[in-house]
Amino acid sequence: MQKNTANPLEKNTRTAFGVKILTSQHKDIRRIKREQDSPSIHGNKFWGSSYLMMDYLTENPPEKGSKVLELGCGWGLAGIHCARHFDAKVTAVDADNAVFPYLHLHAEHNAVDITTQQKYFEKITNKQLAQYDLIIAADVCFWDELADTVYQLIKRACEAGAGKIVIADPERPPFFTMAERCIDEFYGELEHRQVDEPRRATGALLVIENA
């Protein structure tokens, strides 16, 4: 497992899996918070399941240059990880436009380019899903009703011929409701995972190869 540390060369940053992460006290994060409304759909900070996703992708890397879709991206650290380490062409989608300034700020600090789109999951077309070699998402089953929403999106992605799908979660009940359906119907596998640095995070990943 890769060691993750605070960066002594820059104040209020840390490094996880080779990605620079700005803390809430970083001057650029504070500037954005002053200049705009706060994200409204839990996109107000970096959530721990993205550590699980980056840890998994470090051990199971996509092919160089893969097209990657990050769903419910928030600050987009998992997608940035793919762009930085695997030269992936990343599209990050979220329902809340207010998360994108934080995402683009992190992309700038990590010297990568990320395409962003404001869309609800139901509005992502089958044609769009079919374009991607890898679809990732972290912490997207935080409400009960999202279990079916995420399941329906995964079903459409599988039917459209999208590549591998990986969903990370801190093991909330809606995630397991969704995952059980996907294990039965799409031959998904459930993997428990833990990281200890830069902070402890535990959870599970649903992995669907869709090959």
Q: Beta 13-16 vs 5-6: how paired, if at all?
A: antiparallel
In Å, what is the CA distance from 33 to each residue of 56, 99, 169?
31, 11, 26
Report CA-CA distances (Å) from 58 to 134, 148, 193.
14, 29, 13
| 151 or 39, greater pLDDT | 151
Average pLDDT, integer, range 96-109: 94
pLDDT tens for 190-208 read 999 999 987 899 999 999 9
Through-space distance between the first and last CA atoms of the chain, rounded to whole angstroms? 27
Count other Cβ atoms within 10 Å, centred on residue 73: 30
The ranges assigned to domains in the chain are 5-208
Residues above pLDDT 70, as percent of the chain: 91
DSSP letter at 62? Answer: P
Give pLDDT tens digits for 164-179: 999 999 999 999 999 9
Q: Find where tokens 């640095």 sit.
A: 197
3-class SS of residue 87: coil
Q: How far is CA 55 from CA 1, 106, 156, 192, 201, in A?
A: 7, 18, 27, 12, 11
The fraction of the chain above a pLDDT of 90, given in percent, is 79
- Is the CATH number 3.40.50.150 carried by domain 5-208? yes
In this structure, what DSSP letter does residue 8 have? T
Per the confidence metrics, is the pTM higher than 0.75?
Answer: yes
pLDDT tens-digit profile of 16-33? 999 999 988 899 988 988
Please indicate whether residue 130 or residue 1 has the higher confidence score (pLDDT).
130
